Amino acid sequence: MPPILVHEETLDPGYVPPSLPGREREYRTLEERYRTRLGRGVPYHTLVTGGVGSGKTALARRLSEDLRQRVKIGGLAVHPLYVNCWRRASDRTVLLDLLRGVGVSLPDRGYGLSEMLDVFEQGIRRDPRHLLVVLDEVGALVRQGTKLVYLLSRAREVGLGSISLLLIAPQDVLPFLDAASRSSFGVTHRLHLAPYDAPALEVLLSVRAKQALRPGSFSPEVIAQIAKSAAGAGDARFALEVLSSAAQAAESAGRDEITAEDIRAAKGSIAPTLTEEKLTGLSATALLVLLGLARSLKGSRTNVTTEKARQAYAVVAEEHGAKPMSRVTFWRTVKELERDGLVDVEAAAAGQSARLAMNELPASTLELLVEERIQPPGSRKR
């Protein structure tokens, strides 16, 4: 079988994609703000906020690289320095990273902030460049009452040369900053990334899939299925993880194409959202409807028509000695399952019937779980 993951490295979390579909507007806004200010020789600072997997880090990395290549500030090149502050939540540890970034080093003990800043300044002097300092996950640093953000935002005044800042946090951190630093982050210095919706994730996934996977190994339906199942959180990282682990599963099973079942399995292993409790609360009828649906989805289908699902239910019901069900009752049960988050009802196009999907976990797993809970036929008296 030909491999599926032909450029696996492009799905690595550290990979910075050449373009960011769905964030073109935000990218242009940021790029223009920095480019015009820096072009005039003025540093510029921004705070970028957004939820998990909304593309904050990717946006900052892309921007840093593009500014480095394209922009000169008063004859100086732009030199981006990226620090993730999550585990280095003190001014000193962040500054140690910045020192390394300008080619100087200090032992990490025994120096105070002001001595370290002197050494930082020497490093900058030795090779004058405009620094674009990206402080990712800056929340913890800010809540500890950082002085570094203030010093970097007023670099010129405090004799540190030419520095622009890009701060990244899930939420607004400005209320935690001192008034002087806050004043550097007015309204035109903020950018919020809204969560990705399903159509945005679909575009993003198909662009990334084209880069990473062999053409023909994924269908538009499979991409849409992942997008839909990740849209709740709007998290591109989760969506890409599902894509990558589904591709791995298909490849190691020796198949040449990713199937709907691979996606359900991948999603189930990454975020087991379906708890056994949900099933425990269901009526016997609902369990049978779910079992019918699981069986009709086994294999590579992403969804089935309500009619198919109802026929599958009829077979299961007969096996288990349960009564047939009217269309109306069947539909009501489906809607209950939808409310519990176990079934997705996909709106019908004109003249067609609605389709049912179940994106939570592999149909085969669901079948087992449901069967465990249904009494075996014959044990049911009356």
Ligand X SMILES: Nc1ncnc2c1ncn2[C@@H]1O[C@H](COP(=O)(O)OP(=O)(O)OP(=O)(O)O)[C@@H](O)[C@H]1O
- Contact residues toward Mg ion (CB under 5 A) are 57
Q: Is 22 in the site for ligand X (CB under 6 A)?
A: yes
Partner interacting with residue 210 (select from Mg ion, ligand X, none; CB below 5-8 Å by kind): none
String of contacts with ligand X for each residue 31-70, x by CB under 6 A: -------------------x-xxxxxxx------------
Q: Hey, which residues between 158 and 217 contact ligand X (CB under 6 A)?
A: 170, 204, 208
- Least gap, CB of 191 to ligand X (angstroms): 12
Partner interacting with residue 237 (select from ligand X, Mg ion, none; CB below 5-8 Å by kind): ligand X
- Cβ neighbors of 160 (< 8 A, separation 6 or more) are 117, 120, 121, 124, 151, 152
> Quick one: which segment of 14-22, 142-150, 216-224, 225-233 binds ligand X (CB under 6 A)?
14-22
- Least gap, CB of 44 to ligand X (angstroms): 21
Residue written as tokens 């590579």? 300
Is there a contact between 83 and 94 (Cβ–Cβ < 8 Å)? Answer: yes
DSSP string spanning 72-88? Answer: EETTEEEEEEEEE-SS-
Helices (H) and strands (E) in the chain, counts: 16, 9
Is there a contact between 90 and 109 (Cβ–Cβ < 8 Å)? Answer: no
DSSP string spanning 193-247? Answer: EPPP-HHHHHHHHHHHHHHHB-TTSS-HHHHHHHHHHHTTTT-HHHHHHHHHHHH
Return the SS3 of 305.
strand
> Quick one: which segment of 116-124, 233-241, 253-261, 358-366 binds ligand X (CB under 6 A)?
233-241
Q: Which is nearer to ligand X, 53 or 123 (CB)?
A: 53
Q: Which is nearer to ligand X, 21 or 128 (CB)?
A: 21
C-alpha 148/C-alpha 70 separation (Å) is 28
- Which residue's C-beta sits nearest to Mg ion? 57
- Least gap, CB of 39 to Mg ion (angstroms): 28
Is there a contact between 46 and 38 (Cβ–Cβ < 8 Å)? Answer: no
User: φ, ψ for residue 175 (rounded to 5)?
Assistant: -60, -20
Among left, alpha and beta (phi > 0; psi -120 to 50; other), residue 348 is: beta
Among 5, 6, 17, 113, which residue interacts with ligand X (rule: CB under 6 A)? 17
C-alpha 320/C-alpha 323 separation (Å) is 9
Partner interacting with residue 204 (select from ligand X, Mg ion, none; CB below 5-8 Å by kind): ligand X
Partner interacting with residue 21 (select from Mg ion, ligand X, none; CB below 5-8 Å by kind): ligand X
Q: Which is nearer to Mg ion, 23 or 214 (CB)?
A: 23
Partner interacting with residue 182 (select from Mg ion, ligand X, none; CB below 5-8 Å by kind): none
Q: Which is nearer to ligand X, 43 or 53 (CB)?
A: 53
Question: Residue 254 carries which side chain, given as an amino acid letter?
Answer: G
- Least gap, CB of 271 to ligand X (angstroms): 14
Residue written as tokens 């069967």? 371
- Give me the residues that bind ligand X (CB under 6 A), please: 13, 17, 20-23, 50, 52-58, 170, 204, 208, 236-237, 240
